[in-house]
Structure 1
Amino acid sequence: MAKKTEATVEDKLRELYDLQLIDSRIDEIRNVRGELPLEVEDLEDEVEGLNTRVAKLEAHLEELNDQIKGKKNLIEEAKTLIKKYTEQQKNVRNNREFNSLSKEVEFQELEIELAEKHIREFKAQIEQQNEVIEESKSRVGERAEHLKHKKAELEEILKETQKEEEALMKMSADHAKSIEERLLKAYTRIRTNVKNGLAVVPIERGASGGSYFTIPPQVQVEIASRKKIIADEHSGRILVDAALAHEQAEKMQSTFSKL
Structure 2
Amino acid sequence: MATEKKSEGLSVEQRMKALYELQTILSEIDRIKQIRGELPLEVKDLEDNIEGLKTRIENYRRDVEDFRRKTSIEKEKINESQAKIARYKEQLDNVRNNREFDLLSKEVEFQTLEIELSEKHLNEFARAIDSRNADIAATEEKLSDSQHILQEKKAELDEIVSETRQDEERLRVRAKEIEPTIDERTLKAFKRIRDNARNGLGIVYIQRNACGGCFNRIPPQKQMEIKMHKKVIVCEYCGRIMIDPELAGIAEAEVAAGK
TM-score class, shorter: 0.7 to 0.9
Indicate conservation of the 8 Å contact 1:202/1:208, yes or no.
yes
- Tell me which residue corresponds to 2:215: 212
Structure 1 residues 208 and 72: CA distance shift in structure 2, 3 A? same
Tell me which moved more, 169-178 or 7-16: 7-16
- Tell me which residue corresponds to 1:69: 72
- Tell me which residue corresponds to 1:36: 39
TM-score using structure 2 length: 0.80
Alignment of 1:151 onto 2:149: no
Letter in 1 for 2:97: N
Structure 1 residues 119 and 160: CA distance shift in structure 2, 3 A? same
Tell me which moved more, 99-108 or 67-76: 67-76
Letter in 2 for 1:24: S
Q: CA RMSD in A?
A: 2.6
Alignment of 1:48 onto 2:51: yes
Alignment of 1:187 onto 2:187: no
Indicate conservation of the 8 Å contact 1:9/1:226, yes or no.
no
How far apart are residue 196 of structure 1 and its match?
2.7
How far apart are residue 134 of structure 1 and its match?
2.0
Question: C-alpha distance in 2, partners of 1:233/1:13?
Answer: 18
Letter in 2 for 1:63: D
Structure 1 residues 214 and 135: CA distance shift in structure 2, 3 A? same
Question: C-alpha distance in 1, partners of 2:222/2:144?
Answer: 62
The Cα offsets for residues 93-142 of structure 1, whole Å up to 9 and x where unpaired, read as 22222222212211111111111111111122222222222222222222
Tell me which moved more, 50-59 or 199-208: 199-208
Question: C-alpha distance in 1, partners of 2:193/2:69?
Answer: 66
Indicate conservation of the 8 Å contact 2:213/2:240, yes or no.
no
1:201 is paired with a residue whose SS is strand
Question: C-alpha distance in 2, partners of 1:110/1:186?
Answer: 80
Structure 1 residues 160 and 78: CA distance shift in structure 2, 3 A? same
The runs of 5 or more residues in structure 1 that have no matched partner are 1-5, 249-259
Tell me which moved more, 214-223 or 88-97: 214-223
2:28 is paired with a residue whose SS is helix
- Tell me which residue corresponds to 2:106: 103
How far apart are residue 189 of structure 1 and its match?
4.2
Q: How does 1:1-259 map to 2 (within 5 A)?
A: 10-181=13-184, 183-223=186-226, 225-229=227-231, 230-247=233-250
Percent identity between matched residues is: 47
Question: C-alpha distance in 2, partners of 1:181/1:117?
Answer: 76
How far apart are residue 8 of structure 1 and its match?
5.8
